[in-house]
């Protein structure tokens, strides 16, 4: 196997990995967006008519989606460039992948800095409190907040004691086996040991965002490796083209 064939094989493997990672990143971003949309629906829109700020938990899913799409495009470009031995595609692949690496690093740093901030905690806390207070008078809000409690295994906004002011028992969504239990009273050990949804949602948001940002930084190392392989293959093909051109212009071998 020649040097070019080895580099092409290596570039194939790298781009398959890129494509899988890009697809996974896009899918994760979409999942995060759907979860966040359901969570944000708890907010009382009348409270935020003049609030035009964009919070990082709302931005992060779109960053992941755009990043995943860009990575899949670059992987396709690199695959075609290696397959067709097209120096133009390889050149574009190398430049674009370096740009993506820079954007990944910047995005990851911004997420690490701003997701773990007071504004993020305030956004999540206000949303949870809106959902909790709306659930006291709105059956639809009660169901929506109950889905959050069941999914995150939390109870109330701060804790189970939040419910003592307006009801004699805890909602079934605070119980461990709420699908089968008929009642959930205040002596329920599982429900009373659960954290409030404001705390749990904040922790989960930071974990998900930071995990994907950290994975992006690790992938950036492999992307740099792919750019180096593409650069070497680019120059190797140029040497071959130069050699063939010289042979055509010069004398033929006997």
Question: pLDDT of 131-156, one tens digit each?
Answer: 888 888 888 888 888 888 888 888 88
Exposed e or buried b per residue across 112-140, where buried means at least 16 C-beta atoms within 10 angstroms of its C-beta: eebbeeeebbebbbbbbbbbbbbbeeeee
pLDDT at 54: 62
Q: Compute the distance between CA of residue 24 and CA of residue 68 in angstroms, rounded to an integer.
A: 7
Stretch among 136-140, 158-162, 226-230 having the lowest mean pLDDT: 226-230
DSSP type of residue 136: T
CATH code for the domain defined by 130-199 = 1.10.1450
* Cβ partners under 8 Å of residue 89, min gap 6: 77, 78, 80, 81
Cβ atoms within 10 Å of 38's Cβ, excluding its own:
13
Q: Compute the distance between CA of residue 187 and CA of residue 161 in angstroms, rounded to an integer.
A: 11
% of the chain at pLDDT higher than 90:
0
Report whether pLDDT(1) > 60.
Answer: no
3-state secondary structure of 185: coil
pLDDT at 246: 46
Q: Compute the distance between CA of residue 223 and CA of residue 95 in angstroms, rounded to an integer.
A: 11
Q: Compute the distance between CA of residue 227 and CA of residue 11 in angstroms, rounded to an integer.
A: 9
Note the pLDDT tens digit of each residue in 175-194. 866 565 656 766 677 777 88
Q: What are the residue ranges of helices labelled H in the chain?
A: 3-40, 56-84, 87-115, 118-135, 139-152, 189-193, 197-249
Instruction: State the pLDDT confidence band at 168, using cuts at 50, 70 and 90.
Output: confident
């Amino acid at each position: 196997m020649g040097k070019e064939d080895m580099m092409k094989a290596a570039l194939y493997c790298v781009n398959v990995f890129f494509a899988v990672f890009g697809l996974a990143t896009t899918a994760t971003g979409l999942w995060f967006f759907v979860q966040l949309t359901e969570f944000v629906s708890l907010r009382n829109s009348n409270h935020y008519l003049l609030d035009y700020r964009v919070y990082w938990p709302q931005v992060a899913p779109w960053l992941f989606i755009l990043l995943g799409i860009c990575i899949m495009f670059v992987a396709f470009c690199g695959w075609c460039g290696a397959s067709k031995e097209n120096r133009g595609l390889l050149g574009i692949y190398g430049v674009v992948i370096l740009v993506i690496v820079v954007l990944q690093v910047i995005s990851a740093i911004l997420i690490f800095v701003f997701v773990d901030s007071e504004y993020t905690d305030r956004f999540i806390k206000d949303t949870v409190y809106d959902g909790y207070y709306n659930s006291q008078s709105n059956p639809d809000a009660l169901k929506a907040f109950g889905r959050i409690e069941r999914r995150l295994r939390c109870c109330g906004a701060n804790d189970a004691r939040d419910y003592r002011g307006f009801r004699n028992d805890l909602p079934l969504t605070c119980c461990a086996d709420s699908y089968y239990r008929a009642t959930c009273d205040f002596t329920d050990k599982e429900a009373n040991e659960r954290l409030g949804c404001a705390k749990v949602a904040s922790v989960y948001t930071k974990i998900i965002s930071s995990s994907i940002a950290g994975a992006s930084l690790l992938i950036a190392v492999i992307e740099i490796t792919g750019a180096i392989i593409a650069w070497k293959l680019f120059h190797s093909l140029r040497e071959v083209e130069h050699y063939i051109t010289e042979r055509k212009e010069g004398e033929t071998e006997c």
